[in-house]
Chains A and B, each alone.
Chain A
Amino acid sequence: MKIFRYLIAGLRELFRRDKTESELNEELNAYVQNAAAAKVQAGSNPEEAQRAARLEMGGMESVKHQVRAVGWEFALEVFVQDVRYGVRMLFKSPLFTAVALTTIAIGIGANTAMFSLVDAILLRPLPYPEPQRLVVAGLHQRGESGMNLMGTTDFLAWRDHQQSFEQVAVLDNGNSFALSGMGAPEQVPGVDVSANFFSMFGIAPLKGRGFHPGEDGPGAPGVVVISEHFWRDHLDSDPEVLNRTLTLDGKQHTIVGVMPASFHFPSRRPVDLWAIRTLTPQMSRPPYGLVALGRLKPGISMRQAEAELGQITAQVNAQFPTSPELVGVMMPMKKWLVSEFSTALLVLLGAIALLLLIAVVNVANLLLARAAVRQREVALRMAMGASRQRVICQLLTESAVLSLMGGVFGLLLAWLAVRAFLAFGPGQMPRLNEVGINSGVLLFTFVVCVGSGILFGLAPAIETSRPSLTEPLKDTTRSSSSASAHRTHRALLVLQVALALVLMIGSGLLIRSFVRLSDVNPGVQADHVVTAAIWLPYKYTDPQVGQFWQQFLQKVQSLPGVKAAGITMSLPPNLLEITNPFTVEGQGYERNRQLQLAEEMTVSPDYFRALEIPLIKGRFFSTSDKVEGKKDPMIVIINETMAKKYFSGKDPIGGRIQTGDPDPNSPWETVVGVVGDVKYSGLDAGPGPTIYVPYNENGWVGWSRAMYLAVRSSENGVDLVPAIRAELANVDGTIPLAQIRTMDELLDESLMQQRFRTWLVSGFAALALLLSAIGLYALISYSVSQRTREIGVRVALGAQRGNVLGMVLREGLWLLMWGMFLGLIAAFLATRIMRSLLYSTSPTDALSFAATSLALVAVALLACYIPARRATKVDPMVALRYE
């Protein structure tokens, strides 16, 4: 109630300012009259009494001021006054304002844009009801860390025995569907999920329904839920979309629901279709390809649930004595989605924050230079009775106005930057659909604006209001900043150089790492190769899969210009589909021996020729290896690393291996060839074993449904695409030719994230360098102009050009040295957080440190040299007369 009364009283005062003012006047006059009257009564003569009463009152204005200052509304009025004054002052020096505003707008815009990414991806909770209860479960081998996918057997055991979750659901990691019957066949991104997938998230469909329980049972009719995006793009937002059918992988699916665009899971890649994954009990434990999701019961912690999963997994371990001992692990869903990106995002945010600091220092220096001009005005105000706090407050309001105006432009820039990032930036990041400028981001921008306004305003404000009343007023011929202002100016410059160096070193490290990464040999000849994905529908039986590929490859091979055409399950540099444990003859079978995994893939004989993977020993596969009706030859080709590591000292040709979990009863496969290493797990992955299997081998032909085609031609590979597509349509018109890329494009795309952040940080570093150079140039120029007279005297007394040049340069160099010294220490401490972003580059890489330092020295010297040269041209006669 009290606050309410204060509020009303203050507001009334604000709106009836004139009335209260005249009333106060009247009251004060009455006071004087009464006092005078009292004195007359006491015996003074009237004139004398009048004078004494006035004297007693003191300054009428000062009393009024004290009365006004009682209410809260006074602070508001002062603030509004300061803002208006600030705006007026800014418009009075448009050049300064333009430069400062641009600097701030860039700094704040970049920070806002980056923060909106960090906010959407890392900070905000997932956009589902009670997201903290959502977890992802997986497995790893005892003694290892991290989280790998689950297999059907483990998932079913968990689903049937767990007590900690309201629901557990499953997602088949990585899938897409061949859509046919609607124009040209195409591959549509989607996933297979269990029937309770949507109800676990608790997100209602836009239209229709999610899946019903039981729709994931064996033999249930095909149903599919589509995304709003797919509904709009492929079905023209048909209001009667429900119960229409789609032919996916050659099978009819009824559309039962449309999910809103806000639901996007898994969120790292596009998902347009959710179909049913039917789980049936398996005889074996692998393969491991399922993402297990769950919603915890209220009040149950993830640790408790993890302990329970551990017990269930232990029982599965007991059932499969030959499989390695696995341990169940869990992770909050948000962490699972975004943790991979947190370092990169935070490093980028840090880099941008550094850039903002540098911009702030530049503006502070601009203000300091102006402080010299403003000092007279401020001294006048203080002489008239303004307190120092009052002056500082007013100057800070002015810089806050500046930074808020900059912030408005910054927001505009940020909005553009975010749009540009979403359109042209590296995709493949989670939660990008949630990125936007929202209230949280606006709050951040506001705080950053006010904060930087105070940061860059404080030193100049303190400087300007330094209580020396007479000096600036006396000094009418020239305006010079005080020695302490100059000191502050120089300290800020040292800070700026240091910050710029940190950014430059960070960018140097990223560039060096990126160059090394780009130089990595992928193990294939990338030129003149075009690749595409072809997925055969499940209606193809195993023998039909073999026949299909044989027929299709023959046709492609005979196209004019084709040198070699092959198919493979995995493509370099990062499209690896599966890894598999293996056992080399002579190794034991004990269950907890260290897990050895190989990248394993089925390929056709000409795959190696298509990518020009070198043969080191033995032979490639041949079309004559498998003879219809006879036993499989059971042969493999291994890579060089595997040959060296597991067949050291022996001839690997003729050596035997088993794949799958260590089991003496697994069939033996014979090595017939050794080929060069190829990167399948990313260019930054270390060398590891790779096993190639003929695509038509009995145990593997079922896996050879989803394959990549790789075609080497004598000319531009992309020109072949129409002919290849025609051949595919000839064999089966319902199968799309998807994901068409040249090998060069694949290599390029795999470096997109790294390239993006390297360019971004380098851009910041270049800006930082530019800002610091401008700062240095301005300081030295200013210093030269201040010392014109001194230089004139020196020259008159016989100083040579070299002496003068050295004297001016020395000042700049001294600042530069300090800045670099601090910058190197800071960089040394700071770059270690980038470790996980660097490829075979140490965070303290000497070359990066040295090269960027040299670049800084070169640019800084140039920035100092230009004004220093001007100093040498000083004509002593002119300089001395000038005073």
Chain B
Amino acid sequence: MTDKNAALVQGTLDMLILKTLALEPMHAHGIGLRIEQISQGVFQVNPGSLFPAFKRLEREGWVNSEWRATENNRRAKYYVLTASGRKQLKSETRGWKTQSVAIARILEA
């Protein structure tokens, strides 16, 4: 994510992280990488946005964290989605869909 669209997707980044974690627990680098891959390079998440977002989500109680070994045997802090995080993701996804449909309608009108 470049600085230009940072403000626009401030809240969206949280949702994308939650979505990524919904598949499986993941460490910071993996989360950034996955968002970049799935968005086919549209979103490049820099650590300056990523780490504050983790802290925010932890504070909200939507994710937990624990130290684990990575696939290539390094230590990394893995983030795990909590039940309330799952609920939050659901409601945010719903909200986002409603909004994007509405915006699309307006733009096409």
Which residues of A pack against B, CB within 8 Å?
5-6, 9, 23-24, 26-28, 30-31, 33-35, 37-38, 56-58, 62-63, 66-67, 69-71
Residues 24-51 (chain B) with a chain A CB within 8 angstroms:
27-30, 33, 46-49, 51
A34 to chain B, nearest CB (A): 4
Q: How far is the CB of A760 from chain B (nearest CB, A)?
A: 55
CB of B95 within 8 A of chain A? no
- Report yes or no: A56 in contact with B56, Cβ–Cβ below 8 A: no
Separation of A768 and B74 alpha carbons in the complex (Å)? 72
Q: Which of B47, B49, B61, B76 contacts A56 (CB 8 A)?
A: B47
Q: For the complex, give the distance between the alpha carbons of A37 and B46 in Å.
A: 17
C-alpha gap A67/B50 in the complex (Å): 9
Is residue B75 contacting chain A, with contact meaning CB distance below 8 A?
Answer: yes
Q: Are B29 and A63 in contact (CB under 8 A)?
A: no
Within 8 Å CB of B55, what residues of A?
67, 70-71
The complex places the Cα of A34 from the Cα of B50 at a distance, in Å, of 15
Interface members, chain B 43-87 (any A CB < 8 Å): 46-49, 51-52, 54-56, 58-59, 61, 70, 72, 74-77
Checking B33, B46, B47, B52 against A70 with a beta-carbon cut-off of 8 angstroms, the contacting residue is B52
A62 touches B48 (CB 8 A): yes
Residues of chain A lying within 8 A (CB to CB) of residue B33 = 38
- Give min CB distance, B12 to chain A, whole Å: 17
Q: CB within 8 Å of A: which residues of B?
A: 27-30, 33, 46-49, 51-52, 54-56, 58-59, 61, 70, 72, 74-77
Bound complex: CA A570 to CA B51 (Å) = 87
Q: A34-B27, A34-B30, A71-B59 are in contact. Are A56 and B46 (CB under 8 A)?
A: yes
CB pair A70–B59 under 8 Å, yes or no, is: yes
Task: State whether A66 touches B72 (Cβ < 8 A).
Answer: no
Check A28 against B29 for contact (C-beta < 8 Å): no
Residue pair A66, B75 in contact (C-beta under 8 Å): no
| Residue of chain A at shortest CB distance from B70 | A34
Nearest CB in chain A to that of B29: its residue: A34
Contacts A66-B51, A70-B59, A71-B59 known; list 20 others, CB within 8 Å: A6-B59, A26-B77, A27-B28, A27-B76, A30-B27, A30-B28, A31-B28, A34-B70, A35-B29, A37-B72, A37-B74, A38-B33, A58-B47, A62-B48, A63-B51, A66-B49, A66-B52, A67-B54, A67-B55, A70-B52
| CB closest residue in chain B, given A23 | B77
Closest-CB distance, A76 to chain B (whole angstroms): 15
Query: Does B30 lie within 8 Å of A28, measured CB to CB?
Result: no
Complex: A62 Cα to B46 Cα, angstroms = 12
**Contact A31–B56 (Cβ < 8 Å):** no
Q: Would you mind naming 30 contact pairs between A and B with Cβ atoms under 8 Å apart?
A: A5-B59, A5-B61, A9-B58, A9-B59, A24-B51, A26-B75, A26-B77, A27-B28, A27-B76, A28-B47, A30-B27, A30-B28, A30-B76, A30-B77, A31-B29, A31-B47, A34-B27, A34-B30, A34-B70, A35-B29, A38-B29, A38-B33, A58-B48, A63-B47, A66-B49, A67-B51, A67-B52, A70-B55, A70-B56, A70-B59
User: A30 CA to B50 CA in the complex, in Å?
Assistant: 14
Instruction: Point out the residues of chain B lying under 8 angstroms from A58, CB to CB.
Output: 46-48
Asked if A57 contacts B47 (CB within 8 A), the reply is yes
Which residues of the other chain, A, contact B72 by a CB distance below 8 angstroms? 37
Chain A residues positioned under 8 Å from B56 (CB to CB): 70
In angstroms, Cα B49 to Cα A67, docked, is 9
